[in-house]
Amino acid sequence: MAEPEFTATGVRIGKRLRSLTRAGQVRINDGRLELLNSYGSEIDSAPVQAVRASKPWFAADDRALADLNGQRYLLTLGEHDPAPGEPGPPAARRFIEAVRRAAGRGG
């Protein structure tokens, strides 16, 4: 199995006002975006070409939106990339760039 193109752990994943997990995982692997809960079970996944990732204009810098399969998820990642060797999710900006790069839309 190939290495994932993007992985973020410790991500808060929510849908509307409901929190689905506070320690989830976001992964781009083999052309698919996967949202996983803290136990590793899939919340949702879709081909990366069908995913729209954006920065919500009304939220803090650590938030990103992911639209997949007709659902909008609010992802709370990190405000800054963690220091090398330090735990924590990468910046939301890096997630958005990874989705665009994996979908072939530039980055």
For the chain, domains (ranges, CATH) are 4-103 (2.30.29.30)
Is a pLDDT exceeding 60 seen at residue 39? yes
Beta strands (DSSP E) in 16-107 are 18-29, 32-36, 42-47, 52-54, 63-68, 71-76
What pLDDT is stored for residue 59 in this prediction? 77
Q: Radius of gyration of the chain from Cα atoms? A: 13
Please tell me the pTM assigned to this model. Answer: 0.85
**pLDDT tier at 79, thresholds 50, 70, 90:** low
